[in-house]
């Protein structure tokens, strides 16, 4: 198998001379023994050397200066197992190579055998150079040879087949990977290899690409992505801006891995183009923080920016104002001219607001027609008032859309930090409160927040909470105030007025909680409850006594009013003609078809409809024409002091004659004195209601009142004063 030891004899045996003395003989014997011992020693160390080289994982071969085998180890024989029996000491390498070539052991030699052998042998004279050799069974052997001191060669053989396979599959994975990949030298950061995907993605020609350093394709960073203190996760999570051949920038996430490439430390970079994702992300982020129609920041972003600004000004002591702006007639424009015009108006308003602001101020859209302006660097309230005026004027200028000239107005509520709040939430809330005040004072005005507004708002909140409770626990109840026929003095009916006995605050008047109920939608529950109770109570009264129930315009918005009324009638058994519903002019102001349809349907049931508080609203005669009312109630403000007020008398007179003309009953509210009563009688008013006759009373007292009426009638008097 492997080579036997090749040991040169150190000495030839000395020739015996003719004359030998004993001493000579002894000397010879000693010398011989020494020689034999030396030979044995040499053999031993030779064997040790062989044992040592046999356990090495690489193949090792020693050749003499003529290219003849001296010794090779086990691994060497295994690598070239086909020629192993040829590796005898003294055999020429060139001969074993030739035999191998003839047998086809070296596919690289095919067709150029002699040449190949010559090249192979020439390499023996270029020691230190590594080369690879492929064998017929596909194995790849790495060869490294060095000169020995005596002119021979020591050769190393490593089977690198597996390594080569791994390298090949890495190559394949690298080259055909759809993810752009780059290999950089770790030391000088030069790009040493790029795959096809990287070429097509970045657009550089291969030879140009492989001349660049990684920093050359980085738009902002000078350092290579694998350097620095970051952990691998941090690096991967980071986004890099890379420059493509055409100069465009892309966002890239980089996965890096250290490896050895061509024997040198290198870094493999996989480059994930996340430009689209980034773009989508920032689009989403923009959408989440901006209003789609106007592109303005929305409430979320405004709050965030405002809070940041406030933190900054807390130190500088500077004031910041929030101007809460609301368009005065947006709903009407939207409803009558359509949403397209409404949208154009909002965009137009946005444009004007923006152009009225300095760079350091900002504007956001908070809701349908609500905007907020943040004014920085406020020195005194006048600065804010000045801006508010300017904004109102700018928004108030007419707009021209699609041939329509549109005039809109704005009202503004103002809160100033830090006095009116030191966070965005509070400032916006207080500015909103100031806006309600501005609105109540009329259109196109502004109002500063005042702390009593806050107190008022808190009271309202308290009322809302308690009211929910009161509704749930049936605390609310109707009181009844009589309506008296002024000719006969007879009670024709009662108006049901809601009463709220509050455990702590006593009887809360409806004027305090009806508006809250309307704002919060609780009015539907209150109204439904009043209808049911009033119908049930009235069903037990005499047949010719009616009950009147007040309706809020909001009850018409829900859309189920008709069925609520029908239910109340059905459950109580009250004939519809004994139910009167009181509405106010505000209900008819928006002239909605739905409202009129509901009114007609109610009237068709046989229910009577009254116009309440006539004279306090627009008192437009067109309202009276738009619906056939059964009754008009003159507001108490015209009745007050009627006897001595000629204007009021003239008004009452004209309403009474209007009533006569239309065939409608006229009722005077708030009759408190005999003088008022006689005046009303003189003007020919049909009915009266007021403290002169009776205050509103609990249902339990109504029967008594009706009895008292009988007695009073018997005495031909009118007063039912309790």
Residues making contact with ligand C2E (CB under 6 A): 481, 497-498, 509-511, 514, 527, 530, 550-552, 582, 612-613, 636, 669-672, 689-691, 696
User: In the window 643-672, what residues touch Mg ion (CB under 5 A)?
Assistant: 669
Look-up: residue for tokens 């009237």? 603
- CB distance 406 to 345 below 8 Å: yes
355: left (phi over 0), alpha (psi -120 to 50) or beta: alpha
User: Near Mg ion by CB under 5 A, which window of 150-158, 402-410, 526-534, 545-553?
Assistant: 545-553
User: Near Mg ion by CB under 5 A, which window of 299-307, 352-360, 547-555, 623-631?
Assistant: 547-555
Q: For Mg ion, give the closer residue by CB, 420 or 582.
A: 582
- CB distance 108 to 133 below 8 Å: yes
Q: For Mg ion, give the closer residue by CB, 189 or 612.
A: 612
SS3 281: helix
Which residue number places its CB atom closest to ligand C2E? 690
Q: For Mg ion, give the closer residue by CB, 361 or 495.
A: 495
Q: Which does 676 bind (CB under 5 to 8 A by kind): Mg ion, ligand C2E, none?
A: none
**DSSP string across 229-254:** S--HHHHHHS-EEEE-TTS-EEEEEE
Give least dist CB 528 to ligand C2E, A. 10
Give least dist CB 549 to ligand C2E, A. 6
Q: Which does 247 bind (CB under 5 to 8 A by kind): ligand C2E, Mg ion, none?
A: none
- CB distance 697 to 479 below 8 Å: yes
SS3 128: coil
Q: For ligand C2E, give the closer residue by CB, 217 or 526.
A: 526
Give least dist CB 549 to Mg ion, A. 9
- CB distance 413 to 324 below 8 Å: yes
Give least dist CB 701 to Mg ion, A. 20
Q: Indicate whether 613 belongs to the interface with Mg ion (CB under 5 A).
A: yes
Count of positions on this chain that bind Mg ion (CB under 5 A): 5
Q: Indicate whether 550 belongs to the interface with Mg ion (CB under 5 A).
A: yes
Q: Which does 498 bind (CB under 5 to 8 A by kind): Mg ion, ligand C2E, none?
A: ligand C2E
Q: Which does 699 bind (CB under 5 to 8 A by kind): Mg ion, ligand C2E, none?
A: none
User: Near Mg ion by CB under 5 A, which window of 91-99, 311-319, 409-417, 575-583?
Assistant: 575-583
Q: Degrees (nearest 5) of the Cα angle 320, 323, 327?
A: 170
The kind and range of the H/E element at 502 are strand 491-502
Q: Which does 672 bind (CB under 5 to 8 A by kind): Mg ion, ligand C2E, none?
A: ligand C2E
Q: For ligand C2E, give the closer residue by CB, 415 or 587.
A: 587
Taking alpha carbons only, the member of 523, 603, 515, 528 closest to residue 567 is 528
**DSSP string across 672-683:** -SHHHHHHHHHH
Name the token pair of 72.
Answer: 């090779």
Identify the DSSP state of 656: H
**Cα gap 15→276, rounded to integer Å:** 98
Q: Which does 670 bind (CB under 5 to 8 A by kind): ligand C2E, Mg ion, none?
A: ligand C2E
Give least dist CB 638 to ligand C2E, A. 13
State the CB neighbour count (10 A cutoff) for residue 279.
11
Q: For ligand C2E, give the closer residue by CB, 76 or 494.
A: 494
User: Near Mg ion by CB under 5 A, which window of 139-147, 198-206, 322-330, 609-617?
Assistant: 609-617
Taking alpha carbons only, the member of 537, 526, 528 closest to residue 494 is 537
**Cα gap 634→188, rounded to integer Å:** 97
Give least dist CB 601 to ligand C2E, A. 19
163-172 b/e with 16+ CB inside 10 Å = b? ebeeeeeeee
Give least dist CB 486 to Mg ion, A. 17
**Cα gap 12→720, rounded to integer Å:** 164
The stretches of 473-522 forming alpha helices (DSSP H) are 510-520
291, 326, 582, 686: which one binds Mg ion (CB under 5 A): 582
Give least dist CB 617 to ligand C2E, A. 12
Give least dist CB 348 to Mg ion, A. 42
Residues near 347 by Cβ (< 8 Å), separated by ≥ 6?
A: 293, 294
Residues at the contact surface with Mg ion, assessed by CB under 5 A: 550, 582, 612-613, 669
């Amino acid at each position: 198998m492997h080579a036997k030891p090749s040991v040169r004899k150190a000495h030839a045996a000395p020739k015996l001379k003719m004359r030998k003395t004993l001493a000579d003989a002894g000397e010879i014997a000693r010398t011989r023994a020494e020689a034999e011992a030396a030979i044995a020693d040499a053999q031993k160390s030779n064997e040790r050397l062989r044992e040592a080289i046999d356990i090495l994982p690489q193949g090792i071969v020693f050749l003499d200066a003529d290219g003849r085998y001296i010794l090779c180890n086990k691994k060497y024989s295994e690598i070239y197992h086909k020629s192993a029996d040829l590796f005898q000491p003294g055999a020429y390498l060139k001969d074993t190579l030739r035999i191998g070539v003839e047998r086809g052991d070296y596919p690289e030699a095919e067709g150029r055998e002699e040449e190949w052998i010559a090249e192979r042998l020439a390499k023996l004279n270029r020691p230190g150079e590594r080369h690879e050799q492929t064998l017929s069974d596909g194995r790849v052997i790495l060869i490294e040879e060095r000169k020995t001191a005596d002119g021979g060669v020591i050769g190393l053989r490593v089977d690198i087949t597996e390594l080569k396979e791994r390298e090949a599959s890495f190559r394949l994975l690298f080259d055909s990977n759809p993810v752009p990949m780059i290999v950089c030298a770790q030391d000088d950061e030069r790009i040493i290899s790029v795959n096809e995907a990287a070429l097509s993605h970045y657009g550089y020609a291969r030879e140009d690409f492989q001349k660049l350093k990684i920093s050359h394709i980085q738009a902002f960073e000078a350092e290579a992505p694998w350097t620095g203190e970051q952990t691998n996760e941090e690096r991967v999570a980071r986004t890099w801006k890379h420059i493509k051949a055409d100069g465009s920038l892309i966002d890239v996430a980089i996965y890096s891995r250290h490896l050895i490439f061509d024997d040198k430390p290198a870094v493999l970079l996989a480059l994930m183009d996340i430009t689209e994702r980034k773009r989508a992300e920032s689009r989403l982020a923009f959408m989440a923080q901006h209003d789609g129609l106007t592109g303005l920041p929305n409430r979320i972003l405004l709050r965030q920016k405002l809070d940041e600004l406030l933190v900054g000004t807390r130190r500088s002591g500077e004031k910041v104002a929030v101007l809460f702006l609301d368009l005065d007639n947006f709903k009407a424009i939207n409803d009558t001219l359509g949403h397209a015009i409404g949208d154009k108006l909002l965009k137009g308003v946005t444009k004007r607001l923006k152009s009225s602001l300095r760079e350091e101020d900002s504007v956001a859209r908070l809701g349908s027609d609500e905007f907020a302006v943040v004014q920085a660097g406020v020195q005194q309230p006048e600065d804010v008032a000045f801006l508010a005026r300017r904004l109102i004027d700018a928004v108030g200028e007419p707009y021209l859309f699609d041939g329509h000239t549109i005039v809109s107005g704005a009202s503004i509520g103002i809160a100033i930090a830090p006095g009116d709040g030191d966070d965005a939430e509070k400032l916006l809330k207080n500015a909103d409160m100031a806006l309600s005040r501005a609105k109540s004072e009329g259109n196109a005005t502004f109002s500063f927040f005042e702390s009593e507004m806050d107190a008022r708002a808190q009271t309202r909140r308290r009322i809302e909470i308690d009211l929910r409770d009161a509704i749930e626990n049936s605390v609310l109840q109707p009181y009844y105030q009589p309506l008296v026929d002024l000719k006969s003095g007879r009670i024709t009916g009662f108006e049901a007025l809601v009463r709220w006995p509050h455990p702590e605050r006593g009887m809360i008047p409806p004027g305090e909680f009806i508006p809250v109920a309307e704002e919060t939608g609780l009015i539907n529950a209150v109204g439904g409850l009043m209808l049911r109770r009033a119908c049930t109570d009235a069903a037990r009264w005499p047949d010719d006594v009616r009950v009147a129930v007040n309706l809020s315009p909001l009850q018409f918005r829900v859309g189920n009013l008709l069925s609520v009324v029908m239910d109340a009638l059905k459950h109580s058994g009250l004939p519809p003609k004994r139910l009167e519903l009181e509405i106010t002019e505000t209900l008819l102001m928006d002239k909605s078809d739905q409202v009129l349809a509901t009114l007609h349907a109610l009237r068709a049931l046989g229910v009577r409809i009254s116009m309440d508080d006539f004279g306090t609203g627009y008192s437009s005669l067109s309202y009276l024409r738009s619906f056939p009312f059964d009754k008009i109630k003159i507001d108490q403000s015209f009745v007050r002091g009627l006897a001595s007020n000629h204007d009021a008398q003239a008004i009452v007179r004209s309403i009474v004659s209007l009533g006569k003309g239309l065939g409608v009953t006229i009722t005077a509210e708030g009759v408190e004195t005999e003088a008022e009563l006689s005046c009303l009688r003189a003007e020919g008013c049909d009915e009266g209601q007021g403290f002169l006759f009776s205050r509103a009373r609990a249902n339990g007292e109504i029967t008594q009142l009706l009895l008292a009426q009988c007695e009073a009638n018997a005495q031909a008097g009118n007063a039912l004063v309790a």
